[in-house]
Chains A and B, each alone.
Chain A
Amino acid sequence: MKYPQSETNRFGWRPDARDRALIRATQDGLPLVPEPYAHLAATLEMTAEEVMARLRELLDRGAIRRIGIIPNHYALGYRFNGMSVWDVPDSEVDRLGAAVGALPFVSHCYRRPRHPPVWPYNLFAMVHGRRAEDVEAQVAQIRELLGDPVRQHRVLFSTRLLKKTGLKLATPPDSLRAGPGASATT
């Protein structure tokens, strides 16, 4: 089986060493002080203006997806995550996947291979809730959206989290490369 290599940046652009140092610093969290970028800048021997300009560029280039609050979903009561899996015709999976991915409560929506007869499903969508019923209601909404093309589906609740490490960059010089934190791609 072939595994997809992660895509290269569509601009062929790579963050430089200062960008990578900045990303590592912001990944640990901005300090909760009135001027966090100035605080960061001091540790990186940059100016606050340079920090903000570089972050803006990293966002524009897609090296950073977003800058913002990273809540602890588990602490907020989101104890249930459901991996909903759907068997839909290959000829329609792109259209249906895009529609499901646009639902506000779906965090990941991917096409993955079937393994018949064990595994007939080709579309995966992750949903999250405080209660199992919340997750089930979201799955019902996906079911309704998908409509007739669905041949079968299931939702696999997580019963136990056995290991999870955060999304962090590796150490330099490969910090924007493979890294142990690429969980979000899969």
Chain B
Amino acid sequence: MIDPLQKELLDRFQRGFPLSPCPFAVIAEEMGLTEDAVLAHYRELKRQGALSRIGAVVRPGRTGASTLAATAAEDDELARIAARISEFPGVNHNYEREDALNLWFVVHAASNDALEETLAQMERAIERPIFSFPMEKSYHLDTGFAL
């Protein structure tokens, strides 16, 4: 597990990573550490897997259409149906959840029409109805929540 200092190094710079020639020196200054120590911690966190990367989080695409969709699969069919859905291009999340609608996935397509067509193809492929929950309004999106 990570120690409190490492947690702070991860949590505090989820946004506002210094845009300065020596950003790790800026962090070191703020944290009362040396630049070498800061870099060593991040390298270690990276090695452990706790740090995915330090980088940019892009705004999602400006064209195309996407939706959150769900279907109901019997327990013994779930793995097969999930695999069938994941074969479709444009599916990048696929979760089993505890509900009558127990398989939830996100589908992207180039246009509304293409998205409708993909969902229709999926319904034929899995022989089950798919419910679609496109985002109607976003109130908040920030995956950099406090650790």
Q: For the side of the interface on B, what is the size category?
A: 35 or more
Least distance between A120 CB and chain B CB atoms (Å) = 12
Interface centre among A3, A58, A159 (most CB of B within 10 A): A3
How long is the Cα–Cα vector from A18 to B43 in the complex, in angstroms? 28
Question: With A167-B58, A176-B62, A181-B58 given, is the CB distance from A70 to B95 under 8 Å?
Answer: no
Determine if B106 and A186 form an interchain contact, defined as CB atoms under 8 angstroms apart. yes
B-side contacts of A107, CB under 8 Å: 140-143, 145
Q: How far is the CA of A28 from the CA of B58 in the complex (A)?
A: 12
Pick from A3, A56, A113: contact of B66, CB under 8 Å: A3
Q: In whole Å, how far is A123's beta carbon from the nearest beta carbon of chain B?
A: 8
Segment 91-141 of B: residues with Cβ below 8 Å from A? 91-101, 103-106, 108, 110, 112, 115-116, 131-141
Tell me, yes or no, whether B54 is within 8 Å of chain A by CB. yes
Which residues A16-65 have CB closer than 8 A to chain B? 23, 26-30, 32-38, 48, 52, 55-56, 58, 62-65
Please state if B91 and A163 are interface contacts (CB–CB under 8 Å): yes
Q: Which of B17, B46, B134, B145 contacts A112 (CB 8 A)?
A: B134
**Residues in chain B within 8 A of chain A (CB atoms):** 1-2, 9-11, 13-17, 19-25, 35, 39, 42-43, 46, 48-68, 79, 82-83, 86, 89-101, 103-106, 108, 110, 112, 115-116, 131-147
Q: Which residues of A contact B (CB under 8 A)?
A: 1-9, 23, 26-30, 32-38, 48, 52, 55-56, 58, 62-72, 75-77, 83, 94, 97-98, 100-102, 104-113, 115, 118-119, 124, 128, 154, 156-165, 167, 169-170, 176-186
CB-defined A-B contacts under 8 Å, sample of 7: A6-B64, A35-B22, A70-B54, A72-B50, A179-B61, A185-B60, A185-B138
- In the A-B complex, the 3 residue pairs with the closest CB atoms: A101-B140, A29-B53, A178-B64
* New A-B pairs, 7, CB < 8 Å, besides A71-B14, A72-B52, A108-B140: A1-B116, A5-B65, A6-B60, A34-B35, A58-B56, A71-B11, A72-B50
